[in-house]
Structure 1
Amino acid sequence: MESFLFQASLYLIAMVIAVPVASRLGLGSVLGYLVAGIVIGPILGFAGSEMEDLQHFAEFGVVMMLFLIGLELEPRALWNMRDKLLGLGGLQIVVTAVVVTLGVLAIGFDTRVAITMGVILSLSSTAIVLQTLSEKHLMQTAGGRNIFSVLLMQDIAVIPILAFLPLLALPGARALAEAEAKGDAHIAMTIIESLPRWGVTLVTLGAVVATVLAGHYLVRPLYAYVHRARLREINTALALMIVVSIASLMLMVGLSPALGTFLAGVVLANSEFRHELESDIAPFKGLLLGLFFITVGAGIDFDLLFSRPFAILGLTIALMAAKGGVLYLLGWAFKLRGRDQWLFTLGLAQAGEFGFVLTSFAASQRILPGTVAQSLLLVIALSMFLTPLFFILHDYIAKHMREDSEDVAEDEIDEQQPIIIAGVGRFGQVVNRMVTSAGFETTVLDHDLKVIQLLRRFGMKGYVGDPTRPELLAAAGLDKARVLVVCLDDRKASARLVAYARRQREDLHIIARARDREHVFELFRAGADDIIREYFDSSLRAARYVLENVGLTEYEASELQKTFYHHDRQAVRDLAELWKPGVSVEQNPAYVARAKELNRDLEAALLTRFSKVRKERKAQEAAE
């Protein structure tokens, strides 16, 4: 018990310290977990013989993650992915396996070992990649969706790979491995080992069908029964029971538990308690995934690495470069371009967690020699460790290629109107519609060709080009315009545009959209006249509705809303004078002191206005 508590404390302390530091540095949580594992294991030496058992337990986090992903996918959406699953995913596995096999043959290994390593290294890390995509909000991009399709196909492919690998063993070695497996009491025997092949197929299909039917007809009444108890912990127990039971069933019939739970999640995606399942399982998924990443970091064999550093690192970089080359070409063939193509290439260039399982299995089957297996495990771990750095490289490439990759031939502006709208996304579209509907002409500029084409499809005119370019602004009539509306998504670009326009025209009225209060300060200093926080007005409306539904009349809530609005606008102007670029508000005592003083003034103003409105209403009621 003491040993367990010590280990649990150690891992939790490592998570709490390493992960926030990595996140603050922009490295992502996954790299923080991996570094924590390295500190616990190779550096401090606290990772003992229990690490392998702990890793098997932590792999359950991958199972839960795929269950939650399945909950987000409707069966129709999964069916629509079939081309990417079989086409892109299948080609990635086959082509990568062939390329890696040829590379291993060139090094000097025999054909059996080369094919085994090629198949194992063709897989990527579902856990690290999906976690990182989720953190960076890249899952819904074209690159993210294609990555998910490939990873799902790889999880499916693990089953036939496990069936294929024993065929590569020499007959004598295979017989010896089977004899050792039968004599080892710790090797789990599945319930279908004694069945003929047709029986195995039937049992496997039966397990899949049973999972689908249970999701449709059993889980709903069971959940309703448990929900009537109105005990949150029992709901959580039911959610865990569903995942654990399906994973156990899949293991018993020789299927991937991750694949089985993903299928169950898809079946339950349309159920009314989907969000309840998500909220119950998500904390366990996060902790177990973090534990899994820690075990990967703790499992890196630094003794072997330091004994042959150049060879191991060279093989790791060569593997990721080869996989990256294959992925880049496949992405191009499947019409991925720009940032999506680089995300697809760099996101899947590593080996995966299933590589640990397959390598150990291949070693037990006497396909891979022990020293080769140890080196292969280290290459897999190092490639996973480098993956967060590859995502950072993607962010750098995406940031610097945005202007180059998305630039198209700019339109020739043949009309100059008194109102220029720079940026016509969700925010700018509403502004443009209202202004033009009121009978005024606008000149709309946006760098995105698709947005302008969509605008023209609805009968509105717009021009393609970068609104921050001086020559485009001059062609749009900046020297004659009365109003410039800046609605760009890029906060730096919007501040740059406001500053340039103010330098050119002191008399121009500039209206700018701001992301947050700090962006307001930047635009204020740049010279904007009116600054609109994109969520401010909608938040005020929501607050007014809250007040109306807790007892205030519409008039009272409206008056309080107006008071808050005017006070906040003046407060922002006051605070803008104290704001210092590049200095956090916590390190600016004058700003903090003034903000506190303004908050007290706001509370007093609201109370005063509320009392006055109540007295006016009572006086009116008495007069009536």
Structure 2
Amino acid sequence: MEILSHAFVYLVAAVVAVPLAQRLGLGSVLGYLIAGVVIGPILGIVGNETADLQHFAEFGVVMMLFLVGLELRPAMLWSMRGQLIGLGGLQVTLTTAVIAAGCMAFGLSWQSGIAIGMVLALSSTAIVLQSLNEKGWLGTVGGKSAFSVLLTQDVAVIPMLALLPLLAVETLSPSGDDPTAHGAMLLDLVPDWAQPLVIIAAIATIIIGGRYLIRPMFRFIAHSRLREVFTAAALLLVIGIALFMTAIGLSPALGTFLAGVVLSDSEYRHELENDIEPFKGLLLGLFFLTVGAGIDFGLLFDQPIMLIGLAFGVMIIKAGILFAIASIFGLRGADRLLFAVGLAQAGEFAFVLFGMASGMGVLPVDLIGKMTLVVALTMILTPAAFILYERVLAPRMVKTNSREADTIETPGSVVIAGLGRFGQIVTRLLATNGHDVVVLDHDPEVVENLSRVGFRAYYGDATRPDLLHTTGIEDARLFVAAIDNRDKLTALVEHVAKHYPKVRILARAHDRHHVYELEKAGAHCVQRETFDSALNLGRDALIELGLHPFRAERKKQAFRAHDFETLEKLRERWNEHGVDKGYIDTMRSQNETLFELMRDERDEKTHGDRHWTPPPSASPDP
């Protein structure tokens, strides 16, 4: 009963706190940490069992590295080698060196300094990626650069895990322990000269086994068509590799990561991800809960100035290093600030590495308690740092950007805002048909690439009224709004319609409701970005399924006409506050009409396709 009661407490804390944290923009990791703080130090509902649970929950990190390995196909790693080795590698190396030097200046040993430097060099993948996604910044130059560094850091955890035992200080090593207590079994039984050979043999076993044994095993299990057996096999794989590496004396995370990379290009990659992900999420959530429950707030109250100062110091040092590296690699303005501010915190792997450092005798226990609290404080401060960037720093950088907007010397008859996947096609079509097109985009890399092939593309934010005016929009015939941000796109259309009423406005919409928003804002012609491409793919799918191409095209055109009719009928049922009941009724009626429209005469399939041979992919299996 005691186990069930503890499980109930942890689950209630997670279910209540994490959704609230998500709604407040704090992220799930902080939600788990806050929940752990509430049920631990504040309410005292949980206590000594958190340490045992934390060792169990650390297996979630092993699963996380397996999933990271599944995402890192060798070809992908090779294509990103420049940013991974250059941008990411330089960040990890410089941050480790600077923080290690600072620790040594305060009297710590060089081993402890390097260990702390390595741990604090990592950033929070969960918090950063979630924040970038929520704000729509992941597609920016700064967001993409931050992602590449996070990827490098995830990979860097592996050599860090291998290096930590080498940094052990003899006076801190646990005394009286069995030499196999921490998993170093086989390596302790072989001479020193043979240990590298054992490590190489273990890694080779995982790589060769993953290639020639694990794939046939999953193929055999997949034929059983029993989902629960495949899930059990996935867990067996991860647990088995972890036990194998532990028995040898190596990091279980290293083994599962390598197995993930080996299986990353297999046909079972997505199935493995889907099966492991829930277990990984639950165990990591439990791990962060136990971390929060184990934070020593008495220590914070005893030394608040020192610990809070250390948290701010870590973030300032990391932000400064990141800012300098961003400058070296060509990031400018708001992108450089986003890169520096976004990665300034310490990451969730710090809790794992500090726990391992304690067991290996790398760092003293009292110092680990303080550093764990510092890491938690930097993560708690990260949402505030993003708010500071968004509301204070980024708006000022628009005015004082180190790269000024390009000068537009010759206005065009067509002005296009946005060079994404939609805007580029429109630009190429109009420019190659002899129209004088001026394009604005805030991504310097995209602008540079389009300029190289002969198009008039300029760097700048089209939502800036002063910059938009320099394009000669008052004398242009057309304005095409194709920027990615939905709200900014609507505001831009509204601005152009109000200040340049003679210009015809064409806009790209995200969905049907966005069509209505843009029309209300003043757009004369609106197209949904994926509508025609989805229709074309649907037509191809019908052909693959055996329908004659002529009839598939006819059905596509009928669907298109009916959808535009539906768009007109639903327009009067929509307003900026939402939809009324009549909207749903009209939608249901139109769907019924569409089924009738798509239904052929019963014998049309027999007679209409008599001479049509479906493509091979549409043929039934023998």
TM range (shorter): 0.7 to 0.9
Shift of 1:61: 1.6
Q: Which residue does the alignment assign to 2:26?
A: 27
| Distance (whole Å) between structure 2 residues aligned to residue 457 and residue 89 of structure 1 | 28
The yes-or-no answer on 1:50 pairing with 2:31 is: no
Q: Which residue does the alignment assign to 2:70?
A: 71
User: Per-residue displacement from partner, 1:331-389 (whole Å, max 9, x unpaired)?
Assistant: 44455555554455445544455655665666677776654443344334433444455
User: Per-residue displacement from partner, 1:73-101 (whole Å, max 9, x unpaired)?
Assistant: 22344456667667666665564455445
User: Per-residue displacement from partner, 1:9-37 (whole Å, max 9, x unpaired)?
Assistant: 32222222222222222222222121121
Corresponding letter in the other structure for 2:524: D
Shift of 1:473: 4.8
| Distance (whole Å) between structure 1 residues aligned to residue 234 and residue 255 of structure 2 | 15
Corresponding letter in the other structure for 2:533: S
| Distance (whole Å) between structure 1 residues aligned to residue 284 and residue 292 of structure 2 | 13
The yes-or-no answer on 1:259 pairing with 2:254 is: yes
Report sequence identity in percent.
40
Bigger shift: residues 245-254 or 215-224: 245-254
Q: Which residue does the alignment assign to 2:614?
A: none
Corresponding letter in the other structure for 2:28: S
Corresponding letter in the other structure for 1:562: R
1:111-510 correspondence to structure 2 within 5 Å: 111-112=108-109, 115-117=111-113, 119-124=115-120, 128-130=124-126, 132-133=128-129, 136-137=132-133, 138=138, 141-167=144-170, 169=171, 177-178=174-175, 180-182=176-178, 188=183, 190-338=185-333, 341-342=336-337, 344-351=339-346, 355-356=350-351, 371-390=366-385, 393=388, 399-400=394-395, 403-404=398-399, 405=401, 407-417=403-413, 419-438=414-433, 440-470=435-465, 473-510=468-505
Q: Which residue does the alignment assign to 2:620?
A: none
User: Per-residue displacement from partner, 1:584-608 (whole Å, max 9, x unpaired)?
Assistant: x3xxxxx322312321442354366
In structure 1, the gaps of 5 or more residues are 586-590
Q: Normalising by the residue count of structure 2, what TM-score does the alignment of the two structures yield?
A: 0.83
Would you say the 8 A contact 1:211–1:264 is kept in 2?
Answer: yes
Change (3 A) 1:481 1:616: farther
Would you say the 8 A contact 2:36–2:289 is kept in 1?
Answer: yes
Partner of 1:513: helix, strand, or coil? strand
Would you say the 8 A contact 1:96–1:118 is kept in 2?
Answer: no
| Distance (whole Å) between structure 1 residues aligned to residue 597 and residue 372 of structure 2 | 70
In structure 2, the gaps of 5 or more residues are 609-622
| Distance (whole Å) between structure 1 residues aligned to residue 124 and residue 430 of structure 2 | 48
Would you say the 8 A contact 2:539–2:553 is kept in 1?
Answer: no
1:464-613 correspondence to structure 2 within 5 Å: 464-470=459-465, 473-542=468-537, 549=545, 553-554=551-552, 557-558=555-556, 560-576=558-574, 578-580=575-577, 585=578, 591-603=579-591, 605-606=593-594, 609=597
| Distance (whole Å) between structure 1 residues aligned to residue 347 and residue 446 of structure 2 | 39
| Distance (whole Å) between structure 2 residues aligned to residue 523 and residue 86 of structure 1 | 44
Corresponding letter in the other structure for 1:47: V
Q: Normalising by the residue count of structure 1, what TM-score does the alignment of the two structures yield?
A: 0.83
Change (3 A) 1:11 1:21: same
| Distance (whole Å) between structure 2 residues aligned to residue 491 and residue 30 of structure 1 | 28
Q: Which residue does the alignment assign to 1:60?
A: 59
Corresponding letter in the other structure for 1:428: G
Would you say the 8 A contact 2:89–2:152 is kept in 1?
Answer: no
Shift of 1:145: 0.8
| Distance (whole Å) between structure 1 residues aligned to residue 486 and residue 277 of structure 2 | 33
Q: Which residue does the alignment assign to 2:8?
A: 9
Would you say the 8 A contact 2:84–2:148 is kept in 1?
Answer: no
* Equivalenced residues, count: 596
Q: Which residue does the alignment assign to 2:617?
A: none
Change (3 A) 1:85 1:428: closer
| Distance (whole Å) between structure 2 residues aligned to residue 153 and residue 295 of structure 1 | 25
| Distance (whole Å) between structure 2 residues aligned to residue 111 and residue 164 of structure 1 | 13
Partner of 1:485: helix, strand, or coil? strand
| Distance (whole Å) between structure 2 residues aligned to residue 596 and residue 147 of structure 1 | 44
Corresponding letter in the other structure for 1:146: V
Bigger shift: residues 543-552 or 451-460: 543-552
Would you say the 8 A contact 1:413–1:463 is kept in 2?
Answer: no
